Amino acid sequence: MTHPVPTDGPSTPSGAGGPSPSGEPAHVATPASSLGADWVLGDDGLRFRRAARVLLLDAEDRLLLVRGHDVDQPERSWWFTVGGGIDPGESAREAAVREVREETGLLLDDAALVGPVLTRSALFDFYAEHCRQDEEFFLARVADALDTAAIARDGWTEVELDVLDELRWWHLDDLAAETREVFPEGLPDLVRPLLAGWDGSVRHLGLQRDD
């Protein structure tokens, strides 16, 4: 599933150190959430999951992003990267490859992924629940841009069908001028240093509130 659309985040959650922080919250069995079974309740009272996301570039250095909205706030939408939750027993790299396939139809080889190049913890509200998502971002390139108008939605979850509006390839200068919100904040400036290649260092963005 792609990154949920946030509203107002909680104020004092734990686990601000990246995708696999030490002292990860104990996961409590609770009634099913509208978010899906991959979201569990942590001991900080927030719905929690680990996620893999992909900075997917084409030959023109355009970045593929998804636009979505919250069902509780349909008038508001914003852009975010391809990706979603890591399934039990799945590595972050495996999840990244799977999410790209399910959300776009593109078949990436594991070797095409670089990184993780970024990590962060994102706080947001979605489906009327307080959430924290610890994210690892990978970098990948495709030779030919996918025709986003032709994307099949067979691999989309029920939640994604409800909240995802479009996919679009973005030139970074155009993205920087976009009036809708873009997450992570400052995404064009995060991607620009990676256009010439990754230097092997992981940039840790820490705890961010997507609201």
Query: Could you list the pLDDT tens digit for every one of the 211 residues in the chain?
Result: 444 433 333 333 333 333 333 344 444 434 444 566 666 677 777 777 889 999 999 999 999 998 876 666 666 787 999 998 999 999 999 999 999 988 888 889 889 999 999 999 888 766 556 778 889 999 999 887 677 655 656 656 665 655 667 888 999 999 999 999 899 999 999 999 999 999 999 999 998 887 7
Backbone angles phi, psi at 162, to 5 degrees: -75, -35
* Max Cα–Cα distance, the chain, nearest Å: 47
Q: pLDDT value at position 157?
A: 60
Which parts of 86-202 are beta strand (E)? 114-126, 129-141, 164-170, 181-182
For residue 107, give every residue at least 6 positions away whose Cβ sits within 8 Å of its Cβ, in sequence order, or none. 101
Half-sphere exposure at residue 174, Cβ-oriented, CA atoms within 13 angstroms: 10
Q: CATH topology for 52-114+137-196?
A: Nucleoside Triphosphate Pyrophosphohydrolase (3.90.79)
What is the pTM (predicted TM-score) of this model?
0.76
Question: Do residues 1 and 118 make contact, with C-beta atoms less than 8 angstroms apart?
Answer: no
CA distances to 17, 60, 179 from 121, in Å: 7, 30, 24
